[in-house]
Structure formats: structure tokens, C-alpha cells
Amino acid sequence: MSAMNWEQLLNGGRLAGTNKSGDGASRTDFHRDYDRIAFSHPFRRLADKTQVHPLSSNDHIHSRLTHSLEVSIVGRSLGMAVGEQLTLPEGLTPTHFGQILQAACLMHDLGNPPFGHAGEDAIQRWFSDARNAQHLDGLTPEQISDFQSFEGNAQAFRIVTNLEHHPGNGGMQLTYASLASLMKYPWTSDCIEGKKKFGAFQSEKQHLESVAAHTGMIRENAGRYIRHPLAFLAEAADDICYRIIDLEDAYEIGLLPFSSIRPLLEAISGAKADASLSERGQLSYLRALSISRSVEAVARVFVEHEARLLDGKIPYHTDLVSLCPETIRQPLDNAQSFARRHIYTDTRKMELQLGGYKLLGNLLELFCTAVRERIQNKKISYHCEQVIALLKSEAPACGDPLYPALLKVTDYISGMTDQYASRLAKRLSGM
């Protein structure tokens, strides 16, 4: 098993697209990736998708949009910090590293359904419920696994490689380097080992293999690849942001007092709060220092382990934060443990998530029933006609295969914002 190399890993060729850059020296290919993602409809919809607290009326609370923007900034900082310390191939600079990470981080949550991870779990549970097994009749075991293990990561990969901009022809036609850096789990649902995570549906398996081949990712075994090294940095950027900023959000909504959050951030930042500032000002100050210190530590660890990362010797379940010195690792772990006990168990949050389970289950029942009736019959009921009409240009036709027809349902439902899913479910139930 030969090691990966940076020249191939940073491949600027485009999936199913031209390699020609149309902007001369004004924008690199990786910069263009970022712009394509930022101007896309799926990215815009993240403004009304849950980060932690569903349907919050507080304008300061993070949505998936603001979270993704912040993760992309941290990812850019990590990429540039690492690039400055490595020996890079001719023509590539630390800026390229930063731009690749910025693009990968910006799209990392594009596939998340409404209500965050609760929505993801709701889709998995509905398709796994024996009472709904008839909706999957006729699919292969691999196709069934796509729905029963539905993954926001795989949906994000589907959006950018298949659905958006150039449907069926490479999607956004992003660079191989950016796409590889996005894939935390470079395998399909039938190759899951351990954690129930995967990075591509059967419908995008060919794209996964193309990205892996063009970037020189190591094949671990049939259907599974070793992560692209930059995917570890994209994951770290996400880890840093949510461990720190979820504390800030908890203060903003009045869930936790500043006195309980301050010592956690002081430990991460290695600094004391500035008592001359307001509580919100102190939070901002400590948050900035905490992110900066975390970025420095993660970048240092990445460079120290560069050879092992290129050799594929660090498994995907080993995150870079866990390799950091105890002085930064332990405070970040403490913040995560604290959030699990005091933030993620908030009563209002759990009540809304439980409502989301019921809401998404009702929508899946409605659309899957209508889709199966549509592909099996030329004439369908008026009720199903109305449901199918909501899919607009993506509506299946009589005789269409079941698998892509059901994917259109999960595309539609996972693409909904929290507010739209709530309103639609109420309207369809007659409320």
C-alpha cells in the first residue's frame, strides 16, 4: 500500500467538468469551488435549519448557515497554518490549502435534514420500522441500506456531485481535492463498519470512486477508502466550532449563566475573562482566544503526524483533537461533556425534536405512498396527484425505477427548512 502524496491529493481537476479556469489569476479553482457553494440554493436554505436549538426566536442563535460559515473560516485558518509548515508541490501555496478547507467546510452540512441530527435519525428510524417495510419492497439490500442508514454526509455529497447546477453531470462540478476533503466517511452504506456513518449513496458510488482515484486516496478494502488527510482538518474545524460556540448559544438563549460557561472557556483559551467587558463581550473575547489556541494546537498535531496521515495509518475514528496535548485536549473534551449534560438535554429542544420525528414520519408516509402509486399506475388518485405535484420537476413518472424515485422523496424532505417542514406538515394534516 503506497503512501498518498500532496501533488495528487490537491488535484484541481473538476468532477465531470472542464479543468479550465475562466478567471485568470483572479480566482484559483479552489476559490471558485467556495463561490459555487456559497451561491447555491441548498446553502441558502441552511439559514433556517437547526444547529442545536430548533425553531429559536433568538436572532443571535446559530443556524446551520452561520455555523457552516464559521467552520469554513476555522477550516481556512487550519489549512493555511498547516500549508505554511509543509513542503508543498511546485505551484501550490498555503493559500490553496486554506481555500480547499474553506470549500469543504462550507458544504459539510448541506445534506442535513430539518431539525438537525434528530431529523436524520427520524428518516433512518422511519425506513427501518417494520411497519414501513413495504415501501422498500423491490430494492436491493444496498439500496435499502441507503434509506435505513440515511446520512446527512452522503446527502451533502449527493447534492454537490449530482443534484445542484448540472444534475446528473457532476453537479456543481467541484474540484477533486475539495470533494475528497469533504468526505469524512469515504464509503457507501453497505460498507459501514462500527459507527453507522457513510459518505455516499449507491447513486453516487461512481463519483466517490472517481474522486478517490483522482486524488490517490488509498483503497482500504472493497468499497472503502482511507480518508483524504485534509478531511481530518475539516472534521477538526467542525469539532472546534461546536465545542466552543454551543456554549455561547446556551448563554444567549438564557439556558446557562455566564458563570458556568466562563471557566470552560478560560481553560480552553488559557486566558482569564476581561472583567471590564460585558458578559457578552467577555464571551466573545474568550471564544476568539479559544478558537485561536485550538487552531494552533490542531495544526501542530497535523504536521507532526503528516507521514502517518499520508500512509493512511491514522484511522477515521481518531480525530485530531484527541491527538492534541492534554492542556488543550482536556478542556475541549470537558466542554463537550458539559454540553451533553446541560445543553443537548434541554427540555424545549427535546420536545421540538420529538415533534420533528412525528412530523417527518408523516411526510415520509405521505410522499412514499404517493410515489409508489405513481410509478406503478398510469392513473392515480386525486390525493396522490396533489402530493406528487409538490415534487414539481422532480416528480417520478409511471414506470420509473423505485430507487431513484424514493431518493427524490428524501432529496425533497431533507432539503426542507425547519419552518417549511412544519408549515407543510400542518397544511397537509388539515391544520
Give me the residue spans of the domains in the chain: 6-124+150-227, 230-342, 349-428
**Which positions ≥6 away from 247 have C-beta within 8 Å?**
256, 261, 264, 265, 335, 338, 339, 343
Estimate the crossing angle of helix 402-414 against helix 116-128, to 10 degrees.
150
pLDDT at 132: 94
pLDDT digits (tens, 9 = 90+) for 229-280: 999 999 999 999 999 988 888 888 888 899 999 999 999 999 999 889 999 9
Q: What percentage of the chain has pLDDT greater than the value 70?
A: 93
Give CA–CA dist 146/187, Å, rounded: 12
Give CA–CA dist 385/406, Å, rounded: 16
**Which positions ≥6 away from 148 have C-beta within 8 Å?**
124, 127, 128, 136
pLDDT beyond 70 at 430: no
Give CA–CA dist 123/151, Å, rounded: 9
Assign 24 to helix, strand or coil. coil
pLDDT at 431: 46
Q: How confident is the model at residue 18 (pLDDT cuts 50, 70, 90)?
A: low
Architecture of domain 6-124+150-227: Orthogonal Bundle (1.10)
pLDDT beyond 90 at 1: no
Q: How confident is the model at residue 41 (pLDDT cuts 50, 70, 90)?
A: very high
Across the range 145-152, mean pLDDT stands at: 95
pLDDT beyond 50 at 210: yes
Give CA–CA dist 44/236, Å, rounded: 24
Query: What CA–CA distances, in Å, run from 6 to 10, 83, 161, 228, 339?
Result: 6, 11, 23, 10, 37
pLDDT beyond 50 at 72: yes
pLDDT beyond 90 at 420: no
The answer to whether domain 230-342 has CATH 1.10.1740.10 is no
> 0.75 cut: is pTM over it?
yes
Across the range 124-144, mean pLDDT stands at: 94
pLDDT beyond 80 at 20: no
222 C-beta neighbours (distance < 10 Å), count = 8
Across the range 389-399, mean pLDDT stands at: 87
**Which positions ≥6 away from 336 have C-beta within 8 Å?**
243
Give CA–CA dist 7/88, Å, rounded: 8
Q: What percentage of the chain has pLDDT greater than the value 90?
A: 66
pLDDT at 54: 56
Give me the phi and psi of 221, to 5 degrees please.
-160, -175
pLDDT beyond 80 at 428: no
* Selected residue with higher pLDDT from 348 and 118: 118
